[in-house]
Structure 1
Amino acid sequence: MILADVLAGAVTAGFATAALFFLRFWRDTRDTLFLYFATAFLLLGISQLILALGPIPDEYRAWVYLVRLAAFLLILGGILRKNRG
């Protein structure tokens, strides 16, 4: 169980790092695609953190996955917005 906790923490830190990188790219370029990606990775990190903190009852686990769905929809929306012109 200890290794799983370490890996969950590493994944959470990876999501947070990716969010910070995309936030920096957005600050440099002001391209909203980077802002969409930064927000999405922040949401993914938050959902991973919630799952890593401890056992969640099954009736609440769906809400965590809805946060992940929102993150992926943000990525999709950012890509569609960028390609729309």
Structure 2
Amino acid sequence: MMLKPMLNGAVAMAWLASALFFLRFWVQSKDRLFAFFALAFTMLAGNSVVAALLDVDDERRHYIYVVRLFAFLLILYAIWDKNRANRHGSG
């Protein structure tokens, strides 16, 4: 069935578009939050491409989702880092 790989490709394209969006803001502002977001969305795009190329319905292929976990942890770290920088900058 070709629907799943095609949808994974569309999702990868959306993740890459989001990464380019945040990369543009990082170039303009040099704020690390945008760089972390761009990196995380690039990781998520790569994960979607790998999911399109592999048979992810096989339960033994859970390791490809570790990249997704790291991407979401990177987003959480970016938010934490931004809030920590604001707290130290205003005090």
- The TM-score with structure 1 as length reference comes to 0.89
Q: Could you tell me how far 1:17 is from its partner in structure 2?
A: 0.8
Structure 1 unmatched runs, 5+: none
Bigger radius of gyration among the two: 2
Q: Could you tell me how far 1:7 is from its partner in structure 2?
A: 1.4
- 2:34 aligned residue: 34
Q: Could you tell me how far 1:62 is from its partner in structure 2?
A: 2.3
Cα distance in 2 between the residues matched to 1:46 and 1:33: 20
Cα RMSD (Å): 1.3
Note the alpha carbon deviations across 1:28-69, whole angstroms, 9 max, x for none. Answer: 10000000100000000101100001315543x222111000
Cα distance in 2 between the residues matched to 1:50 and 1:2: 15
- 1:45 aligned residue: 45
- The TM-score with structure 2 as length reference comes to 0.84
> Once the two structures are aligned, what percentage of the paired residues are identical?
46
